[in-house]
Structure 1
């Protein structure tokens, strides 16, 4: 194993740990603040806060938090298509809104890192 392979492998381990941390935070928010988030999106489309998300276990909680955090991170798209009400976004507490936006960007960063590291590993660049 070369030094480059060792570094990429170590970074992959860090990314996997970061992924589990993000999943843990998502589950925490889904179980303990999921109802609060749903209350603030009453005027928006039911796609965001579908009852199936709330009552389908851990995966449903992750979908609920992921959907709401995606809406908060990229609101223009959802406002443009009439999926979300602008007042609902404004009524969400600022601290919760910041947590959800940060969580969404963490997931984007983790998945981008996974793709980059996997591409490096499989490309054969590290063995030369």
Structure 2
């Protein structure tokens, strides 16, 4: 039995998607365990983060929950500034290198999820 070119491409894209999500999860956990205190110290006047801050003691899932909230604020600060969930001074004092890492991590995770959802749709429609 031979595998068609379409199936090989589908398999390669699937492996890239799952591998990317595993790398995303590893980097997110690394940041959540090594830089969480630094991030929370810089965002101590942001209500939307301080409400979630106690969850950092809830293990890996709790730390990822808090990290996701921080990534959301770093990626789209205007939404949080408008409704009072973030403080402009805290966002300005946040370290630039860490902010860049969080933004890249946020968008790369979104890209991998959209990639896998697209593969699911292609598979569900029977195109491969």
TM-score for the superposition, normalised by structure 2: 0.92
Q: Does the CA-based 8 Å contact 2:40-2:53 persist in structure 1? A: no
**1:55-88 deviations in Å (ceiling 9; x for gaps):** 0001111111111011110111111111011111
> Which residues of structure 1 form unaligned runs of 5+?
none
* CA apart distance, 1:11: 0.8
Match of 1:125 among 118, 124, 127: 127
RMSD: 1.1
Q: TM-score, normalised by structure 1?
A: 0.92
Within 5 A, what are the aligned runs for 1:20-31? 20-31=22-33
Is the 8 Å Cα contact of residues 5 and 121 (structure 1) preserved in structure 2? no
| Secondary structure in 2 matching 1:125 | coil
8 A contact 1:30–1:61 mirrored in 2:
yes
